[in-house]
């Protein structure tokens, strides 16, 4: 029985990550913006996309990045007070919350990319826990 629980949890993790990746997280090049701001909330997320909150131009944005393992793989550690430049697609969710689906995040002159420059597909698409499937 415990084996089924592990398999079920693993399946749900992969399903949530890939469904979000296939949906492109709401990415639309027509709404692409570049904003500079400060991270105000940064939590550890173990399933789905890692989301943090930033304030830029007197507005609060939720920033969608990628799965936690992808952030670890590229070496991005988001922390409160961090000054960042975000390029991404701006959108509102069904509850009216303002989001940015990140294309790239720059911090201290280091840029972390989340999407392919041509297709806008997430760079982790087709991967799981940092390994090719």
- The CATH number linked to 116 is 2.40.50.140
Q: Which residues pair with 99 in a beta bridge?
A: 62, 91
pLDDT (0 to 100) of residue 49:
86
Cβ neighbors of 36 (< 8 A, separation 6 or more) are: 56, 83, 84, 85, 86
Encode pLDDT of 88-109 as tens digits: 999 999 999 999 999 999 999 9
Reported as a pLDDT band with limits 50, 70 and 90, residue 6 is very low
Q: What is the pLDDT of residues 62-83, one digit of tens each?
A: 999 999 999 999 999 999 999 9
Q: For residue 33, what are the domain limits?
A: 2-132
DSSP code for 120:
-
Q: What is the tally of structural domains in the chain?
A: 1
For the segment 32-40, the average pLDDT, to the nearest whole number, is 97
pTM value?
A: 0.74
């Amino acid at each position: 029985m415990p084996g089924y629980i592990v398999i079920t949890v693993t399946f749900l993790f992969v399903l949530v990550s890939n469904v979000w990746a296939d949906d492109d997280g709401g990415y639309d090049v027509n709404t692409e913006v570049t904003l500079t701001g400060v991270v105000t909330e940064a939590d550890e997320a173990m399933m789905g996309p890692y989301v943090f909150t930033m304030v830029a131009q007197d507005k609060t944005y939720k920033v969608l990045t990628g799965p936690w393992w992808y952030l670890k793989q590229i070496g991005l550690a988001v922390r409160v007070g961090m000054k960042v430049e975000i390029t991404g697609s701006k959108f509102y969710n069904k509850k009216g919350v303002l989001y940015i689906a990140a294309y790239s995040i720059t911090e201290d002159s280091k840029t972390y990319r989340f999407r392919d420059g041509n297709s806008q597909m997430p760079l982790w698409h087709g991967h799981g826990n940092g390994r090719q499937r």
